[in-house]
Amino acid sequence: MRTFAGQCAASVLALGIALASIAGTADAQSFTVEEPSSILIFPKVVNTEDRDTVIQITNNNNMMAYAHCFYTDGQTLNGIPRWAVTDFSIALTRQQTTTWLASTGRPVNPADSQTGLDPGAVPPTFPGFTGSLVCVQVDSPFDGAPSGANDLTGRADVDGADYNAIGIPGIDVDADRFLDLDGVEYAQCPSAYHLNFVVNGPAGAIALGPMLSQGLGDSVAVSSTSLTVVPCNFDFGNLIPARVSIGFDPIVDEFEDTGSQGYGQVICWENIQLDGAGFELSSTFGTARVNGTSAGGPAPFVAVANVLQVGGMSGGSGVATTNLHAVRGALATGQIILP
Amino acid sequence: MFTNWKIASVASALTFAVVGVSAVSAAPDHDNAAGLLIYSKIVVDAGAGIDTRLHLSNTSALPQMAHCFYVNANSHCTNTGGVCSTFMDCLDTASNVFGTCAPGWIETNFDIFMTSRQPIGWVASEGLAGTALPCRATFLNPNPCGGQGANNGTRIPPISETPFIGELKCIQSDPITRLPRACGEGGLTCANDLTGHAAITDIETTDVASYPASGLRSVANNGDNNLLVGGEDAEYEPCADVLVMDFVYDGAIDPISGVLEASSELTLVPCTQDFRGQTVPPVTAQFLVYNEFEQRLSTSRRIDCLFDSPISRIDTSQPNRSIFSVEIGGTIMGQARIRGVNGGLTGMALLALAEDFTDDSTRVGWAAYALDTVVETSVADTISLP
């Protein structure tokens, strides 16, 4: 039987644990690419013939951490999104980091060549997979309830292009399967981002990468940017794909020439090339505000930018993936529904 | 029982109250526009064909000015004056005597004037000034780009020497005083309108490593030349107490290719810098390194100015013996928790894949990424401006 003093001690201890768990929580109402969180979203996971993805997830706490993860295939076949979801669970010991390849997953086999403690049976994605990965921290392995402990960080390497997983910190997380990204239960997702890019040239030509054209004479170098977009709503319970309409407004170049470009609706997952009349600007560098809308109002989404450079003389190419700056205060409520 | 409930309720209420308070603090901010941007790594090496493209954008509808500081962190030989990384680079062929490789810290400041919502980009080796400026006002054409403001007064110098390793800080400032814009009452009108990216490019292979600039948001700026970063009277959001680097052990085989070897470079920049007195108080970086078996090793390193090193040379000159080496770590991936003692740190990491990770000339690709951050105590840092 616990005594009153014991209850007090327990309360103080609980408070201490709560304080420790929230220490370092940045701007608890917003997403983050830099702090441990309770939900991780990897917007871009690819397993195609010539590209693969390394996933790395880390437990930042000195206690065990568990996560329920969902691969979502965003491929479109004959104009119809597949929206195929594959879920699995992982368990991480204190401060443990773990990794797997999208193409092979990670079986539980201590005798195999994979180093480190196996976090659980991670399935491989099937060939041609282009989509996203969402991991929700839970309080116990196998069908655990959602947890707001904010212990997870992640990084993805898409064939040599790295980006940080986008984190959604938990705030006041309850145990049901409806995860409200509303600034109360979990942080909200952004509905607008600042995108810095190297602009496309006039008449559809791709702009010269300035360094390549001015540097060592790689005369026909080209540079282009694309945007990988995932709506910040995931209905894993009913397998209903989420939608968000993407628009670029304003698009501004260095001469302050301003344009805009609508893209249309993104269903589930999309890689958007920055082309079209709105991106035919007069200077090399540009910036754009990327807005997500739905039913006339702001809609939440997450995104990463992909930069491709190709050298004309060398024939070499390089690709980089970077996280974006969000427009501060431009947030919208999303929801994740677990099975 | 009811009393116990009340105690629990008070504890819960206090907990949520603290959650609310904690929401005010934040770490270096890759997530939003900010009033102070830090590009942790600028690299130019003409011999190796490496250059850095920088991108700075004004997200405001009003013209803005940024006061920027290039920090040249090259070390130089005491005898020949050449750029060096170790004393072995300092052989004077005339006298056959080795000199000392002395660390250096040279700051060059300049201004960037941006029109409304304007992006500005330049290449570090070239700079940007004069006729290359996109919006140059003249007597006959005071608004060359149609909107408010012009780029006149912008003189971005090329970096001073090659090879070059350094950082860039840009502080949103008042165009008259060149000091940070003071916040209005309640911090409602703090100037936080800058975003930026950097792209380190290998010109020969055309590979690119792009990373977002770290931002520190102004929260209560008083407009003077001592910028308090974190702490009780913070003018800017704090730097991180702990940086978290998820990394691939040096020498580990890249899981995708199954052939290439991985190597990583870590760049750390102390948050406290005195641009007025041209000094940087040293910070000690403590490293806790965990492998996939949750085994922990540790080391520490003094950070004098800008620290940039292959991770397997942080703790030893023999990479195979490093705690960041796959031979010591025993797994492919690891986590390093980096704590700054006596001051905060910012930084980024660069992952390269090569046929031989000890030989840069065999590199076939690279990628840059930001470090995760944890703010625990919010120790105050200071940036002093001239």
Q: How confident is the model at residue B39 (pLDDT cuts 50, 70, 90)?
A: very high
Residues of B within 8 A of A120 (CB-CB) are: none
pLDDT of residue A26: 38
Predicted pLDDT of residue A201: 43
Q: Does A219 touch chain B (CB under 8 A)?
A: no
- Interface contact flag, A11 B26, Cβ < 8 Å: no
pLDDT bucket at B186, cuts 50 / 70 / 90: low
pLDDT band at B48 (very low <50, low <70, confident <90, very high): confident
B residues 220..249 contacting A (CB < 8 A): 241-242, 244, 246
Q: What is the pLDDT of residue B25?
A: 42
CA closest to A52 among chain B residues: B256
Predicted pLDDT at A13: 40
Q: DSSP code of B324?
A: T
Q: Residue B80: what pLDDT?
A: 87
More confident residue, B20 or A252: A252
How does pLDDT run across B358-380, given as a tens digit for each residue? 887 788 888 999 888 887 766 78
Among A8, A22, A35, select the one facing B7 at the smallest CB separation. Answer: A8
Under the banding of pLDDT at 50, 70 and 90, the label for residue B30 is low
User: How far is Cα A12 from Cα A32, in angstroms, rounded to an integer?
Assistant: 29
Sign of the dihedral through C-alpha B256, B257, B259, B264:
negative
Mean pLDDT of B187-205: 83
Q: Please give the mean pLDDT across all residues of chain B.
A: 85
- SS3 track for chain A: CCCHHHHHHHHHHHHHHHHHHHCCCCCCCCCECCCCECEEEEEEEEECCCCCEEEEEEECCCCCEEEEEEEEECCEECCEECCEEEEEEEEECCCCEEEEECCCEECCCCCCCCCCCCCCCECCCCCCEEEEEEEEEECCCCCCCECCCCCEEEEEEECCEEEECEEECECCCCCCCEEEECCCCECCEECEEEEEEECECHHHCCCCCHHHHHCCCCCCCEEEEEEEEEECCEECCCCECCEEEEEEEEEEECCCCEEEEEEEEEECCEEEECCCHHHECCCCEEEEEEEEEECCEECCEEEEEEEEEECCCCCCEEEEEEECEECCCCEECEEEECC
Q: How much is the pLDDT for B182?
A: 87
A-chain CB neighbours of B293 within 8 Å are: 96, 116-117
Which residue did the predictor score with more confidence, B88 or A206? B88
Task: With residue B54 as reference, give the H or E element that holds it.
Answer: strand B50-58
Cβ within 8 Å of residue B257, ≥6 positions away: B353
B311-324 average pLDDT score: 92
What per-residue confidence (pLDDT) applies to A200? 57
pLDDT, averaged per 10 consecutive residues of chain A (339 residues), comes to 42 41 42 83 93 94 94 83 88 93 92 86 92 95 88 91 92 93 92 84 37 45 82 90 91 87 88 83 86 90 86 69 86 91
Interface of B with A in 18-77 (CB under 8 A): 18-20, 22-23, 25-33, 49, 51, 53, 55, 57, 59
Return the pLDDT at B7. 41
- The pLDDT of residue B6 is 41
- Report the interhelical angle of A4-22 vs B2-22 (nearest 10°): 10
CB A94 within 8 A of CB A63: yes
Query: In the predicted model, is pLDDT for residue B291 greater than 70?
Result: yes
Q: What is the pLDDT of residues B89-116, one digit of tens each?
A: 898 888 888 889 888 888 899 999 999 8
Chain A residues with CB inside 8 Å of B7's CB? 7-8, 11
Q: What is the tens place of the pLDDT at every residue in B210-233?
A: 899 988 989 888 889 999 998 888
Q: In this complex, is the C-beta atom of A8 within 8 Å of any C-beta atom belonging to chain B?
A: yes
pLDDT at B68 over 90: yes
